[in-house]
Amino acid sequence: MLNVRQVLKVFNKGTINQKTALDNVNLELLSNDFVTVIGSNGAGKSTLMNAIAGNFPVDSGRITIENSDITPLPAHKRAEMISRVFQDPLSGTAASMTIEENLIMAYRRGKPRRLRPAIGSKERDLFRIELEKLGLGLENRLTHRVSLLSGGQRQALTLLMATLQKPKLLLLDEHTAALDPKTAEKVLELTNNVTKQQQLTTLMITHNLDHALTFGNRTIMMHEGRVILDIKGTERNDMTISHLLEMFEKASGSHMNTDRMILA
């Protein structure tokens, strides 16, 4: 589904602040893979996600989705194939618009524009059904402005918007990091359910090492712009956090900076 080949990204090239954020990264996601991404600050996790989403051009390398080269495409063109949920709950929704207005934009993503009623009764019925699955009572608040929702409700709505039209690839950029623990667990539960139900190919950055080993079917670890560990199958099923940290030390030759990591 996703193939990242020899991708290089250097910031501030030719200056004293030059930084190699992605160092000839290789990564392949099969259809239905749910891959969690971990690593210390500055390891290249968000840069990799931004490169895949098209937020900036890479210096070299190739990114393909279903064997289609998306490397030269801008972010808005890739949005037809890729959905993304950000860390900030305010980033994925339009606060001044209603819940149903936000949903209709997501529902019609990639569809041809034509003259028709803004929101039809069939679409409202669909929105109520999908919102009810969230278990937050939002199905009865279609005409409420999104600015009235809590951070957790907005993030759950953003997740629904990102998957209302099944994307080829779902990117989750620390999408529960700004939420309180109880709300974060709820959003993660919703994430797990929707990715399984729709069989979504998913890439999720997390600083919670327990979540990294619990959710999905693969865990990759990045360090200094490279993927240094790719753990799956029975090895991952039997993995403990302490063993994971030991593997990192062996693969990288250094101790992992766990200042922002949640170890359990």
pLDDT digits (tens, 9 = 90+) for 30-73: 999 999 999 888 889 999 999 999 998 999 999 999 989 999 99
**pLDDT band at 177; cut points 50, 70, 90:** confident
**What pLDDT is attached to residue 92?**
83
pTM over 0.85: yes
CATH class of 2-81+167-252: alpha beta
**What pLDDT is attached to residue 73?**
92
Mean pLDDT of 197-204: 94
Sketch the domain layout of the chain as residue ranges.
2-81+167-252
3: Cβ–Cβ under 8 A, 6 or more apart, which residues?
A: 27, 28, 29, 62, 63, 64, 65, 67
Least confident of 29-43, 109-123, 139-153, 240-254: 109-123
Between CA 9 and CA 221 the distance in angstroms is 18
CB 43 within 8 A of CB 211: no
**What pLDDT is attached to residue 115?**
44
Surface-to-core class of residue 48, CB atoms within 10 Å of its CB (0-12 exposed, 13-18 middle, 19+ buried):
buried
9 forms beta bridges with 22
